[in-house]
Structure 1
């Protein structure tokens, strides 16, 4: 159980949500709630005075094409994207996150902005050069305002949000979803496990774009990786990417050498598939 009394607030608009956040110090936005409930139950020191329910907002539940851009609500459960044909790489990626029961609650925004380091759902969005839409509470009597921003500009190991900023949705060019793609994911004990390595690779003409998670304790999409993939035999490209990545993480689940060897096999296979 959660050790403190919590006020539940249901809102009808994003503007109402951020105003409620200003009025209740210690409030948190509620969509899937998997991380909030788990953390609050484990630690009485977790600050939680109010839950602002945003999962019913149209802006956070949207899943449609608007003027050549796909709009993905941040409160969409990952299970809604499992077999969604609109973005096959994203569907393949989210299927590897937890089991179906958890994906029924875990949201797209929660996976990307949460505390767990893997954040696999962000990989296809980074490759598609997605944009984010959020709303921030105004200072003092200033009204809340909406912001549009490039995901790569806000994502450095994790998504950076201002205090009280509410993530509404992501958008991406529709033509990015039809690029040739490959997805690889390896775990230690089975499909329902944290990844040792996850990689997403797309081909744009003769160029490749790569995003990875698990190799380091954060997701990574960097221009240096794309440059390393630009020319040469498959083995040479893989060597260049590994050099650009630096030494992989080493922990109780896998050594750095094992992760490097695993990544080498996975990237080589993905490159051969797309070539």
Structure 2
């Protein structure tokens, strides 16, 4: 049970959802867009979030799409990770999504909920960062389609009253060779230590990482080091010198241990892609 009451709204259109948010915000209701509800329930129980009005967007048609159109895969933000996994239209995303939480939770966690969550793992964003995907966002200023690498800076940069509608990915990225690895320190279903996703496009290796820092990221500077002609050890040393900060240090693992795990993961990926 949540320790507070709230009003529930279920708009029929994107515009109605945006207008509802503006009206409720002006009335001081601290409105929240809602799709799966896992974060609201989890954080609400420990007093880390609060709302007096929930706007349920999970059944808006634009937020439920899942199809290929004009060489682009369109995925709605309110699709559950289970639905995405079962459809398997983006194998790297399937691999990453299939290891988020447990099976029961994945049936409730949505794509947009994971990408926009306050918890720092947000693994589902990794394949989209690698594939130069675009995100469709709607808000008071209307709709906008923008590259995810321009608006995901530690988190998806949404303005007040905006929400994620869809993610669009070119099919040429979907068929590229990939690797997705999750490392946990203690057990199969515990919180991840590090999750790494990698794509190989021609001779170019791309990597995106979650769990190392308090946010998921893709670093082109790191990739440039990994794709150089230097010996593997030198490439990895140089790549590690270009990591963002801070490196996480918590009960899951120390900063030094995380760096040790990442070093070995990068070595394994380079070897698997034949770039040694």
Pairwise same-fold verdict (TM > 0.5): yes
Q: 3-state DSSP class of the match of 2:249?
A: coil
Residue 163 (structure 1) shift: 0.2
Distance 2:163 2:251 in 1: 35
Q: Is 2:41 aligned against 1:37?
A: yes
Question: 1:141 maps to which residue?
Answer: none
Q: 3-state DSSP class of the match of 1:72?
A: strand
CA RMSD of aligned residues (A): 1.5
Structure 1 unmatched runs, 5+: 139-144
Q: Is 2:72 aligned against 1:75?
A: no
Distance 2:50 2:101 in 1: 26
Asked if structure 2 preserves the Cα contact closer than 8 Å seen for 1:183 and 1:270, the reply is no
Question: 1:142 maps to which residue?
Answer: none
Question: 1:8 maps to which residue?
Answer: 8
Q: Is 2:210 aligned against 1:213?
A: yes
Question: 1:190 maps to which residue?
Answer: 187
Structure 1 runs (4+) greater than 3 angstroms displaced: none
Residue 149 (structure 1) shift: 0.9
Q: Is 2:233 aligned against 1:235?
A: yes
Q: 3-state DSSP class of the match of 1:162?
A: coil
Asked if structure 2 preserves the Cα contact closer than 8 Å seen for 1:113 and 1:159, the reply is yes
Distance 1:160 1:243 in 2: 26
Structure 2 unmatched runs, 5+: none
Distance 2:5 2:263 in 1: 50
Asked if structure 1 preserves the Cα contact closer than 8 Å seen for 2:137 and 2:162, the reply is yes
Partner residue of 2:52 out of 49, 53, 73: 49
Q: 3-state DSSP class of the match of 2:241?
A: helix
Distance 1:153 1:34 in 2: 27
Residues 1:219 and 1:12: Cα distance change in structure 2 (over 3 Å): same
Distance 2:103 2:185 in 1: 19
Query: Deviations along 1:245-267, whole A, 9 cap, x unmatched?
Result: 16733222211221111111111
Question: 2:64 maps to which residue?
Answer: 61
Asked if structure 2 preserves the Cα contact closer than 8 Å seen for 1:201 and 1:208, the reply is yes
Distance 2:101 2:4 in 1: 29
Asked if structure 1 preserves the Cα contact closer than 8 Å seen for 2:40 and 2:49, the reply is no
Residues 1:116 and 1:246: Cα distance change in structure 2 (over 3 Å): closer
Distance 2:49 2:170 in 1: 39
Question: 1:251 maps to which residue?
Answer: 250
Residue 36 (structure 1) shift: 0.8
Query: Deviations along 1:34-64, whole A, 9 cap, x unmatched?
Result: 0012222222x74311111111111111110
Asked if structure 2 preserves the Cα contact closer than 8 Å seen for 1:21 and 1:164, the reply is yes
The TM-score with structure 2 as length reference comes to: 0.93
Distance 2:4 2:182 in 1: 39
Q: Which moved more, 1:200-209 or 1:245-254?
A: 245-254
Q: Is 2:160 aligned against 1:156?
A: no
Aligned residue pairs total 268
Distance 1:152 1:73 in 2: 18
Residues 1:46 and 1:85: Cα distance change in structure 2 (over 3 Å): closer
